[in-house]
Each structure stands twice: as structure tokens, then as C-alpha cells.
Amino acid sequence: MSYIELSNVSKSYDKQRSVLNGIDVSIEKGEFFVLVGPSGSGKSTLLRLIAGLEEITGGELHMNGKVINHLPPKDRHLSMVFQNYALYPHLTVEQNILFGLNAKKVDKKEQKQRLHKTAEMMGLTELLKRKPRQLSGGQRQRVALARSVVSEAPLCLMDEPLSNLDAKLRAHMRMEIRQLQKKLGLTMVYVTHDQVEAMTMGDRIMVLNDGKVQQVGKPIELYNKPANLFVASFIGSPKMNMGRAVIKGQQLVIEESLFIPVKAADVIDIPKNKRLIAGIRAEHLFKGTSEEKTHVLDVINVEQLGNETMVTFEVGGEFWTAKWLGQQIVHTGDRVPVQLSVEHMSFFDADTGKLIKAASSLKQKEGVAI
């Protein structure tokens, strides 16, 4: 049995509309498991159910094979890191880190040993006598992490711990948290609304929307084979380009403005004359030349990022973005040749939103599998 198992777990307040509905998921020991979704999707509530800070309305929560629905938080052998750090302003860094151990009446000698080891690991040795107001955002986050680590709990729950940090510090702290988790062998359940964080940190990701599980899998699985339109639009930066589509005869028609020839083998699993949504990733909308092109599109925006160029086109009533390596000389208003292939497209049922066929895993000209 898995380390943590949620079986048909639901949560509602005052018997009104459910915040979580029918959650079934297993989390393995030592796994970095990420809960991701937009605000209001129920991810923080799910974390609080695991922590015991909220009561489960329905279903069962297992830990190490035992039902722990009614077990208080202090008996669940876990630690938690919050979005706002939750540090005591009148206590020093040392006192904040040791607060939980003091509450549990851990031996003073052992407290000192754990403190020294943890402070050294987290780079806080020189800051132990300071108060939180004397620390930067990144240092405060390290103190919150240290308080979690010093408890030596096998399970660590994190609720958007990096959302208050600037972009550069967030990237650095992502790496630190991942290394810490691997080094200590912790089972970590990490909540974020940032899909980049989810993709770069998680062993597996669970995508939540409106209290329901949309998909669970490894980051690359969710990127390459999104289960539905929501996952396709949420996972990936920029999001997958999408447009209304239908197969008519030997052509794929997208947004009534793009006409792409198709072979029978390309669309063997796709129903004809059915309302579809076609999707293509930004890196698969290739730049063409005057000799080699399938379409010519109007540029409506260009973002020069130094190492790559993001070019946005208008396709019918939708905006599609291409991601091209290097510094491309493209301007708003230009008509640019591109290469589009049905082999790089995913197809979804326009009525249910479910995936019908994922993009084929072909090889680019450089010989790298995609």
C-alpha cells in the first residue's frame, strides 16, 4: 500500500456545494508530489485535510495503511510550511526553529544537535540570534523550512511557500527545496498555482480544477498527453495553441481559416465531420521559408527574450504563439511563412473536452525526440 492514500475523499462546508469531490490518489514514500490548479480549485483545502487541519466530509484518508480521518495533526508525524512563513516576530531565528521541539518537550541536548545540523544545512548559522524583521524574504523562507526540517517528520506539506518571493529567488529556492527533499528522503506534498513550479519540481503532478481531479501523472506525461482541454491549457508555458477544427475530406480545417492536407493514416482515430479542438505546442509551430512553408500568417505581437523569440499570430478568432530559438528578425504586422503539420497536433472532443488523440512523438530536424 502507498504511504498516503485518499479514497473518494470529499469536503463541503455546511452541506453546501462541495469544495472537493471524489478525490482518489496515492502518494508513495519519498515522492515529491505536487498539487496544482487555479485559485479556488481546492488544492490548499486538500493539503489541510491531509494535515488534519480540516475535517473530511466523506471518504477515507490512509497513512501507512491506517485510516487517520480522526487523528489530530500532532499525531500524524508531519510538518507544514505556509505561504506567509508563520514566524513569531518576537522570537529569534533559533527560537522559531526550535518552537515545535519545545512544545513536544524534546530533550535540550538533542534540540541543540538538531538545530546545529539544520542551521548548517540551511545556511542560517550566522542568523540564529536575529529576529524575523531583520531577515530578507528568502532568509525567512529558509527559517520556515528549517523549522520543518528540524522536526524530522517523514512527511512535509508545503502550501505555496514561494509565492511571496521575487522571480530570481523563487528559481533558487525551487532548487534548494528539491535538493533538500532528495537529501532527507522526505515525502513532500507541495501546493502551487504556478505550473512552471509544478513541472520543474514534481515527481508527479495532480491537476485540480473546481474540486475535481483532472489528471495525475509525471510532468512530461501531462505535457505530451493532457487528458483534457483544461490540462492542455494549464500545463505548459506558453499554453497550447488551440482552435475549433473539423476534418472535411482530405483536409483539416481550423478556425475556418487554416486548411491542412491530411492523409488517412494521420487521422485514423479521429472521427470525421465531428466538432473538434485542435491543439499545437508553441515549439511545434515551426518557422518556414519562402521555399518551405505550409502557411503564411499575420504577426500581431513579438517578444524578444534574448535566447528565444515569441511570435504571436492571429488564426481565425484565436491567438497562436510560436517559440523560436535565437533572436529572430520579425516585426508586428509582418506576414511570416510557417510550417504546420498535423503530426504535431493533439485533438480533443469539442463537446466533452476529452483527449481523442495526442500529438505524435516525432523527431525534429536536430534529431531530438519531442
Q: Are residues 114 and 181 in the same domain?
A: yes
Q: Are residues 209 and 333 in the same domain?
A: no
The single-letter code of the amino acid at 86 is A
Which set of grid coordinates corresponds to residue 87?
514566524
Which one of 179, 208, 229 terminates a domain?
229
Q: Are residues 41 and 189 in the same domain?
A: yes
78 is a domain residue: yes
130 is a domain residue: yes
Q: Are residues 201 and 255 in the same domain?
A: no
Secondary structure letter of residue 138 according to DSSP: H
Supply the CATH number for residue 341's domain.
Answer: 2.40.50.140
- Specify the pLDDT at position 162: 85
- Specify the pLDDT at position 138: 86
Q: Count the Cβ atoms, other than its own, within 10 Å of residue 140.
A: 21
194 is a domain residue: yes
Q: Are residues 55 and 185 in the same domain?
A: yes
Q: Are residues 175 and 268 in the same domain?
A: no
Task: Note down the domain range covering 292.
Answer: 238-357
Please give the model's pTM, rounded to 2 decimal places.
0.89
Per residue of the chain (370 residues), give pLDDT as tens.
579 999 999 999 877 778 999 999 999 999 999 999 998 899 999 999 999 999 999 999 999 999 999 999 989 999 999 888 889 999 999 999 999 898 888 899 999 999 998 998 888 999 999 999 999 888 898 899 899 989 989 999 999 988 877 888 888 888 888 988 998 899 999 999 988 899 999 999 999 999 999 999 999 999 999 999 999 999 998 999 999 999 988 889 999 999 999 888 778 888 877 899 999 999 999 999 888 899 999 999 999 999 999 999 999 889 999 999 999 999 999 999 999 999 999 999 999 999 999 998 544 433 444 3
Distance from C-alpha of 34 to C-alpha of 98, rounded to nearest angstrom: 27
Query: Any idea which residue has 539544520 for its cell?
Result: 118
Which one of 229, 251, 266 terminates a domain?
229
Q: Peptide bond before 238: cis, by omega within 30 degrees of 0?
A: yes
Which one of 229, 250, 269 terminates a domain?
229
Q: Are residues 55 and 197 in the same domain?
A: yes
Supply the CATH number for residue 59's domain.
Answer: 3.40.50.300
Q: Are residues 32 and 161 in the same domain?
A: yes
Nearest alpha carbon to residue 348 among 271, 282, 287? 271
Distance from C-alpha of 29 to C-alpha of 325, rounded to nearest angstrom: 39
Side by side, which strands form the sheet with 276-280? 258-261, 251-254, 241-248, 276-280, 345-349, 355-357
Nearest alpha carbon to residue 85 among 139, 34, 35, 36? 139
Which set of grid coordinates corresponds to residue 195?
505550473
362 is a domain residue: no
Q: Are residues 94 and 216 in the same domain?
A: yes
Contact residues for 31 (Cβ-Cβ < 8 A; gap 6+): 3, 187, 188, 203, 204
Distances in whole angstroms, Cα of residue 10 to Cα of each of 22, 46, 60, 78: 6, 9, 9, 21
Q: Are residues 251 and 217 in the same domain?
A: no
Which set of grid coordinates corresponds to residue 190?
507541495
- Specify the pLDDT at position 1: 57
> How many domains would you assign to the chain?
2
Nearest alpha carbon to residue 48 among 83, 14, 99, 22? 83
Q: Are residues 157 and 46 in the same domain?
A: yes
Distance from C-alpha of 30 to C-alpha of 178, rounded to nearest angstrom: 12
- Specify the pLDDT at position 63: 94
- Specify the pLDDT at position 199: 93
- Specify the pLDDT at position 361: 56
204 is a domain residue: yes
Nearest alpha carbon to residue 78 among 3, 134, 22? 3
SS in 3 state form for 309-351?
EEEEEEECCEEEEEEEECCCCCCCCCEEEEECCHHHEEEEECC
370 is a domain residue: no
Contact residues for 354 (Cβ-Cβ < 8 A; gap 6+): 227, 228, 348
264 is a domain residue: yes
Q: Count the Cβ atoms, other than its own, within 10 Å of residue 218.
A: 12
Q: Are residues 141 and 166 in the same domain?
A: yes
- Specify the pLDDT at position 167: 82
365 is a domain residue: no
